[in-house]
């Protein structure tokens, strides 16, 4: 009981942990262009690097480096899309040594290159088709890499469903192609065509955290329910249940969200 009370005190506005976490967030947000190292941040706060890493990660859910990367990426995305800044200038503006570093940052956290992000899907061909399925009408979207999107619609709402799925990558070329999507519909909705030796390839377009959550979802055995807490533990982020829920919600890739139950309720 005393340990719990101490933890609660530490993260109040008057607690030592709260002040450390607040100061790290302020420092990184203000000085991200300098790309400060963990050692540099710790020195400015009179902390050891090891202790600072543990404290910040425990309360923030990610490491100081991870937070620095997120802040850097957020600014880079704004410069690329809102200000149409070239890749080299964007890299320098956010404190990176060049486009290769920016590329690595995007690929790690967005599962795509900065050029693809800036292009909003430009140069990407996504083929789609509507199919009758056990849940009504299914919209299936595929690329050369595999299944890229799966959504469900009532009869008469197909146009709205398609618009919702295409708004994220407005510059991609969308082609209605039932010949391309029929094989996927069969693989998805006909149990007799499921094969562990020939798994269905799924294209996951999202942040590094989202992709890790979706990969965990795809490991859920058929007929089994898990909680957000279970998924958070599986991806090595046991305190990130809310973030897991947020990652499950917006995914346009097929995932087993129906297999997730609230931890305080019985799965049905």
Q: What is the DSSP string of 6-18?
A: HHHHHTSTTSHHH
Go through 133-167 and write b for each residue having 16 or more CB atoms within 10 A of its CB, e for each that does not.
Answer: beeebbbbbbbeeebbbbbebeeeeeeebbeebbe
Amino acid 192: pLDDT: 72
Distance separating the N- and C-terminal Cα atoms of the chain:
35
Residues 253 and 202: their CA atoms lie apart, in Å, by 8
Do domains 1-119 and 208-259 share one topology? The answer is: yes
Could you confirm whether domain 125-193 is CATH 3.30.160.70? yes
In tens digits, what is the pLDDT along the chain, a chain of 268 residues? 343 334 344 444 456 788 898 899 999 999 999 999 999 999 999 999 999 999 988 887 678 988 898 889 888 888 987 788 888 999 999 999 888 888 877 765 555 667 777 777 788 899 999 999 887 899 999 988 788 888 888 889 999 999 988 887 788 899 999 999 999 998 888 767 766 566 677 766 666 677 778 778 777 766 677 788 888 888 888 887 777 777 776 555 554 444 454 443 333 3
Amino acid 2: pLDDT: 41
The DSSP H or E segment spanning 223 is none
Residues 144 and 126: their CA atoms lie apart, in Å, by 8
**CB-based contact 181:140 (threshold 8 Å):** yes
Which sequence positions are flagged as catalytic?
Answer: 257
What residue segments make up the domains of the chain, in order of their start? Answer: 1-119, 125-193, 208-259
Tell me, yes or no, if the pTM score tops 0.75. no
Amino acid 266: pLDDT: 32
Amino acid 167: pLDDT: 85
Q: Which CATH superfamily is domain 1-119 in?
A: Homeodomain-like (1.10.10.60)
Phi-psi region of 143 (alpha: psi -120 to 50; beta: other; left: phi over 0): beta
Amino acid 194: pLDDT: 66
The DSSP string of 27-70 is: HHHHHGGG---HHHHHHHTT--HHHHHHHHHHHHSS-HHHHHHH
Residues 139 and 152: their CA atoms lie apart, in Å, by 6
Could you confirm whether domain 208-259 is CATH 1.10.10.10? yes
Residue reference for tokens 């101490």: 6
């Amino acid at each position: 009981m005393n340990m719990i009370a101490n933890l609660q005190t530490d993260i109040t506005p008057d607690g030592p942990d709260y002040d450390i976490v607040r100061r790290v967030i302020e420092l990184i947000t203000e000085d991200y262009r300098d790309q400060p190292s963990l050692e540099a941040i710790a020195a400015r706060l009179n902390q050891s690097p090891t202790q600072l890493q543990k404290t910040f990660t425990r309360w923030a859910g990610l490491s100081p480096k991870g937070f620095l990367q997120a802040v850097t990426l957020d600014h880079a995305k704004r410069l690329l899309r809102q200000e149409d800044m070239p890749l080299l200038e964007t890299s320098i503006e956010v404190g990176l040594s060049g486009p290769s570093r920016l590329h690595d940052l995007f690929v790690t956290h967005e599962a795509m290159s900065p050029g693809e992000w800036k292009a909003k899907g430009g140069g990407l061909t996504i083929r789609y088709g509507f199919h009758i399925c056990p849940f009504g009408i299914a919209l299936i979207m595929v690329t050369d890499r595999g299944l890229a999107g799966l959504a469900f619609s009532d009869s008469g709402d197909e146009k709205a469903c398609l618009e919702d799925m295409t708004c994220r990558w407005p510059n991609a070329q969308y082609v209605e192609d039932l010949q391309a999507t029929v094989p996927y519909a069969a693989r998805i909705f006909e149990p007799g065509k499921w094969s562990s030796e020939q798994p269905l390839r799924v294209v996951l377009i999202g942040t590094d955290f989202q992709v890790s959550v979706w990969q965990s979802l795809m490991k859920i055995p058929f007929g089994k329910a898990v909680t957000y807490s279970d998924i958070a533990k599986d991806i090595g982020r046991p305190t990130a249940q809310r973030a897991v829920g947020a990652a499950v919600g917006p995914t346009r890739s097929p995932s087993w969200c129906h297999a997730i139950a609230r931890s305080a309720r019985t799965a049905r």
